[in-house]
Amino acid sequence: MGKALPVELRVRVMAALADGMTRPEAARLFRVGVGTIAGWRRLERARGHLRPKTATGRTRAWRIEAERDRIFALLEADPDLPTHALCAALREQGLVFSRSAMNRFLKRHGVERRIGRPPGRSGGAPGAAETARPAANSRRIDSTSSDTFR
């Protein structure tokens, strides 16, 4: 969703309408939708001003906040429990939270965590460590062949 249009623009559009301009004309002139202007008129009538509503932030944080006691009980039992293991333990109890949501929750509550990879993850492609790969300098150029680079 985009940002709210400036109040100054809203006031100018409403002033143009008050001076007798039609909604379609004002929409073309100020490059806004006719429906937007209609919404602003309803807003002005209902609230007495044209200021947009304030942003509410993350709306789904309440789900994880509702399980605060359960999360802290797991952390109290094992303070070094990695985030992915904490999420897995909650998943076994029927609660599904992403690691990023869990990290935001813990940060919000002042719990500092070391972010690391789950066990078994080396950072490369699966099996990449076992694949033998020749070193970059292992190729030799035969100076006697005719295809040498000049």
Give the burial class of 76: count Cβ atoms within 10 A of its Cβ; 0-12 exposed, 13-18 middle, 19 or more buried: exposed
pLDDT at 63: 86
Radius of gyration from C-alpha coordinates of the chain: 30
Lowest mean pLDDT among 2-6, 8-12, 93-97: 2-6
Residue predicted with more confidence, 141 or 81: 81
Tokens 């939708």: give the residue: 33
Query: Is the pLDDT confidence value at 27 over 60?
Result: yes
Mean pLDDT of the chain: 81
AA identity, residue 20: G
Most confident region among 26-30, 62-66, 75-79, 142-146 by mean pLDDT:
26-30
Q: What percent of the chain has pLDDT over 70?
A: 69
Query: Is the pLDDT confidence value at 145 over 70?
Result: no
Alpha-carbon distance of 109 to 148, in angstroms, equals: 65
Structure tokens at 115: 């972010």
Give the burial class of 64: count Cβ atoms within 10 A of its Cβ; 0-12 exposed, 13-18 middle, 19 or more buried: buried
Residue predicted with more confidence, 123 or 9: 9
Query: Is the pLDDT confidence value at 15 over 70?
Result: yes
pLDDT at 5: 86
Q: Are 75 and 86 in contact (CB under 8 A)?
A: yes
